[in-house]
Amino acid sequence: MSDDRLTTLEIRSAEQEKTIEELSAEIAEQWKVIERMQKKLDALTDRFLVLEEQALTDTPITKPPHY
């Protein structure tokens, strides 16, 4: 009975090790996705700020025609 118990523990340990490796690989892949998304967000933020600055400088401040 001791051998069966030991075998069961070894099987569980191997399955847990495999699961941990799979989760680690998934986390690494998700981190790559997050980094790509962060780069895109940074680029879009920069573009937005440039467009916002251009829009502010192109609009002259004038009095309405009824003044």
Tokens of 35: 């980094």
C-alpha 26/C-alpha 30 separation (Å) is: 6
What is the separation of C-alpha 33 from the centre of its chain, rounded to a whole number of angstroms? 5
**What is the model's pLDDT at position 47?**
96
| Single-letter residue type at 65 | P
pLDDT by 10-residue block (mean), the chain, 67 residues: 90 98 98 98 96 76 72
Show me where the domains of the chain are located. Answer: 1-46
